[in-house]
Amino acid sequence: MGIIKLLDENTINKIAAGEVIEKPASIVKELVENSIDAGASEISVEVKGGGISYIRIVDNGKGINKEDMGIAFMRHATSKLSSEQELNKLVTLGFRGEALASIAAVSKVEMISKTHDSISGYRIYIEGGKIIEEGEYGCPEGTVVTIRDVFFNTPARLKFLKSESKESMYITDIMQNLAMSHSNISFKYISNGKLVFATRGDGDLKGVILAVYGKQIVKNLIDLNCSRDFITVKGYLGNSNISRGSRNYQSTFINGRYIKNKTITAAVEAAYKSMLTINKFPFFVLHIYVNPEFVDVNVHPAKAEVKFQDEQLIFKSIYHCVKDALISASHVPEIEDDRKEFIRNIQKVNYSQQKLDIKTDIETDKKYDGMIANENLTNSYELPRKDIPLNRNDDIYYEKDKTQYEPEGDRSISVGNYKIPNNFENEVTTKRVPKFGPLAVVGQIHFTYIIAEGPDDMYIIDQHAAHERIYYEKYLRDYKSFGMQKQNLIVPIVLEFSVSEKQAIFDNIEQFKRLGYEIEDFGGNSVALRCVPIIYGNPDPKVLFYEILEQINLNDKNVLSAIDKILYTMACKSAVKANDKLSYKEMVELIEQLRFCDNPYNCPHGRPTIIKMSYIELEKKFKRIQ
Residue 557: other Cβ atoms inside 10 A: 10
CA distance 295 to 256: 13
What pLDDT does 122 receive? 95
DSSP H or E stretch at residue 481: helix 463-481
The predicted-structure confidence for 98-123, as pLDDT tens digits, reads as follows 788 889 989 999 999 999 999 999 99
Residue 280 · residue 244 · CB < 8 Å: yes
182-186, 250-254, 289-293, 367-371: the lowest-pLDDT one:
367-371
What pLDDT does 203 receive? 96
What pLDDT does 207 receive? 96
Helix axes 422-431, 584-595, angle to 10 degrees: 40
pLDDT exceeds cutoff 80 at 388? no
Strand order in the sheet with 142-148: 130-137, 121-127, 108-114, 142-148, 54-59, 42-48, 186-191, 194-198
pLDDT exceeds cutoff 70 at 231? yes
CA distance 224 to 282: 14
Q: Convert 601-612 to b/e letters by CB count within 10 Å (16 or more is b).
A: bbbbbebbbbbb
Mean pLDDT, to the nearest integer, of 451-458? 90
pLDDT exceeds cutoff 70 at 96? no
What is the maximum alpha-carbon separation in the chain? Answer: 107
What pLDDT does 20 receive? 64
DSSP H or E stretch at residue 492: strand 486-496
3-state helix vs strand vs coil in the chain, percent to 5: 35, 25, 40
pLDDT exceeds cutoff 90 at 286? yes
Residue 337 · residue 540 · CB < 8 Å: yes
- In terms of DSSP H, where are the helices of 221-308? 262-271
Q: What is the CA radius of gyration of the chain?
A: 30
CA distance 78 to 70: 12
What pLDDT does 555 receive? 64
Question: Which three-class secondary structure state does DSSP give residue 594?
Answer: helix
- How many residues does the structure list for the chain? 626
Q: Provide the total of helices (H) and of strands (E) in the chain, helices listed first.
A: 18, 29
167-181, 312-326, 482-496: the lowest-pLDDT one:
482-496
DSSP H or E stretch at residue 613: strand 610-614
If we measure between CA atoms, which residue out of 459, 463, 445, 460 comes closest to residue 615? 459
pLDDT exceeds cutoff 90 at 340? no
Mean pLDDT (the chain, rounded): 78
Q: How far is CA 450 from the centre of its chain?
A: 39
Bridge pairing between strands 457-462 and 449-453:
antiparallel
Mean pLDDT, to the nearest integer, of 70-91? 57
pLDDT exceeds cutoff 50 at 2? yes
- In terms of DSSP H, where are the helices of 50-126? 66-72, 99-105
**This prediction's pTM:** 0.65
Residue 569 · residue 338 · CB < 8 Å: no
pLDDT exceeds cutoff 80 at 271? yes
pLDDT exceeds cutoff 50 at 200? yes
Could you give all domains of the chain from N- to C-terminal order, each with its CATH number? 9-198 (3.30.565.10), 214-329 (3.30.230.10), 354-626 (3.30.1540.20)
The pLDDT-based confidence of 625 (bands split at 50, 70, 90) is confident
CA distance 140 to 123: 12
Phi, psi of 191 (to 5 degrees): -125, 125
Residue 120 · residue 138 · CB < 8 Å: yes
Residue 340: other Cβ atoms inside 10 A: 10
Please tell me what DSSP assigns to residue 157.
H
